[in-house]
């Protein structure tokens, strides 16, 4: 039987997850000395480094048993996985933002929204009963209103620096976001004991880290 695999989102969440694993008492030498390796041994686990959306894909399809990923990606992907716990780090929020001093709701023309999260944006405006034209952008979404491509963006705001430094402003905060632990549905049955033990250790570490 292969080890329990944990898919971990590369980048911002990586160091926080390392800190979590260390607090859980796991020997993280394999993560600290990773070099360009993508599958890392952490005690009896295999930690797999992947982009956020791929973390969900690997966990949904059972290639990994457990995932650590932001609520933003979970909301966007709408995957069939169990969301087990809020890790309390990687905190930010989804927000609607536009050019400073411009009334987004003025006028009757259909607004153009740029976003990396089209499903989240679609749901947000559906709830407002507002027809919008959504354009998918891959990164630095803040550029879209500045370049005249969009009237506003739906994006993540963490410190607010990107918004501020580019003369944009938050029009509305949509929902708070943080890192979550997800689990594959079949793994939860097949490896119940191991996964429950992992989750119990996560909860203990969360208390220590608070």
Residue 71, classed as helix, strand or coil, is: helix
Q: Does 97 bind ligand PRP (CB under 6 A)?
A: no
Q: Does 157 bind ligand PRP (CB under 6 A)?
A: yes
Q: What is the C-alpha separation between 35 and 78, in angstroms, rounded?
A: 32
Longest CA–CA span in the chain (Å) reads 61
Collect all residues with Cβ–Cβ distance below 8 Å to 34 and sequence separation of at least 6. 40, 49
Q: Does 142 bind ligand PRP (CB under 6 A)?
A: yes
Q: Does 15 bind ligand PRP (CB under 6 A)?
A: no
Indicate which single residue of 101, 139, 208, 210 sits in contact with ligand PRP (rule: CB under 6 A): 139
Q: Beta strand pairing status for 82-86 and 132-136?
A: unpaired
CB 202 within 8 A of CB 24: yes
Q: Does 173 bind ligand PRP (CB under 6 A)?
A: no
The one segment of 38-46, 67-75, 158-166, 185-193 that binds ligand PRP by CB under 6 A: 158-166
The one segment of 24-32, 43-51, 52-60, 150-158 that binds ligand PRP by CB under 6 A: 150-158
Q: From the CB of 160, what's the least distance to ligand PRP, in Å?
A: 5
Q: Which residue is nearest to ligand PRP (CB)?
A: 139
Indicate which single residue of 113, 156, 171, 174 sits in contact with ligand PRP (rule: CB under 6 A): 156
Q: Does 140 bind ligand PRP (CB under 6 A)?
A: yes
CB 26 within 8 A of CB 32: no
Q: Which of 182, 152, 155, 201 is nearest to 64 (CA)?
A: 182
The one segment of 23-31, 33-41, 153-161, 186-194 that binds ligand PRP by CB under 6 A: 153-161
Give CA angle at 181 (178, 186), nearest 5°: 150
Binding site for ligand PRP (CB under 6 A): 139-142, 155-162
């Amino acid at each position: 039987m292969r080890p329990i695999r944990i898919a971990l989102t590369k980048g911002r969440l990586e160091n926080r997850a390392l800190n979590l694993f260390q607090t859980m008492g796991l020997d993280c030498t394999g993560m600290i000395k990773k070099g360009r390796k993508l599958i890392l041994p952490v005690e009896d686990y295999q930690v797999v480094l992947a982009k956020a959306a791929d973390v969900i894909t690997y966990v949904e399809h059972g290639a990994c048993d457990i995932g650590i990923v932001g609520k933003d990606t979970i909301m966007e992907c709408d995957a069939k996985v169990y969301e087990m716990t809020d890790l309390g780090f990687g905190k930010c929020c989804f927000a609607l933002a536009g050019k400073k001093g411009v009334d987004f709701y003025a006028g009757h023309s259909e607004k153009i929204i740029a976003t990396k999260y089209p499903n989240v944006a679609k749901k947000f405006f559906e709830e407002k009963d507002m027809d919008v034209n959504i354009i998918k952008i891959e990164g630095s979404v803040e550029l879209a209103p500045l370049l005249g491509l969009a009237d506003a963006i739906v994006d993540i705001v963490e410190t607010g620096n990107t918004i501020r430094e580019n003369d944009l402003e938050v029009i509305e905060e949509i929902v708070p976001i943080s890192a979550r632990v997800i689990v594959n549905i079949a793994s939860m049955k097949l490896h119940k004991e191991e996964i429950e033990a992992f989750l119990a250790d996560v909860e203990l570490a969360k208390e220590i880290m608070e």
